Structure 1
Amino acid sequence: MLSSIEGIRLPRTAPGNLHVWHLYVVRVPARDKIMTGLHAAGIQAQIHYPTPVHLQPAFRDLGYAPGDFPVAEKAATEILSLPMHPHLTPSQQERVAETLESLLTHL
């Protein structure tokens, strides 16, 4: 349902591997605006990992600073965990996809 939505980057699985999808994390532009729109529509999306590993306090002694890993830092501003649980119905999945598409279209 999400693969044809312009502006969204979906998670990928390397060939020969399977994913357990503990979280379903996508990348979107204007992530905070998109998340606010999803919440306004009653759809709970979250940001699970807002800080790149090299900027985590536990790794401060390694001496990395903002700008040292720009790709990771950009990804941290775009990642959004979409609802995913065993009780998510097909119609709820469709609603998430349609709402996300509408929000991305109106950026």
Structure 2
Amino acid sequence: MLEITVQTENGERHVGVSAEELAGLVRRIGGEGDRFLVIERIPDETHVFAQVWHATDDDYTVEHRDGSADRHFGARTEQVETVIAAVTGWARREQGWDDALDWSLLKL
């Protein structure tokens, strides 16, 4: 089990999901009312999260924040497997989890 919670747009909250369950949630999003996931670590760290947005027939937008607003990054990809690998690696705190995406600092 991954030490994360996953909140969905439609109000579902999943606690301590497996890597396979997280992958299923990422693959599922895209339809009206179910287009994003917010992933937080357990125990919760202030302003530390990853999130994924996807609308059907559009790219995936992946974001992660590591504390302050100047540590909030985003990337886009059409590859769902790249998204799954990134958010699973983030959840596991794996070295290099973010290498496969081209991240940009987000101005909020």
Give me the TM-score of the superposition, normalised by structure 1. Answer: 0.24
- Between Structure 1 and Structure 2, the one with more strand by share is 2
- Between Structure 1 and Structure 2, the one with more helix by share is 1
Query: Comparing both chains, which one has the higher relative contact order based on Cα–Cα distances under 8 Å and sequence gaps of 6 or more?
Result: 1
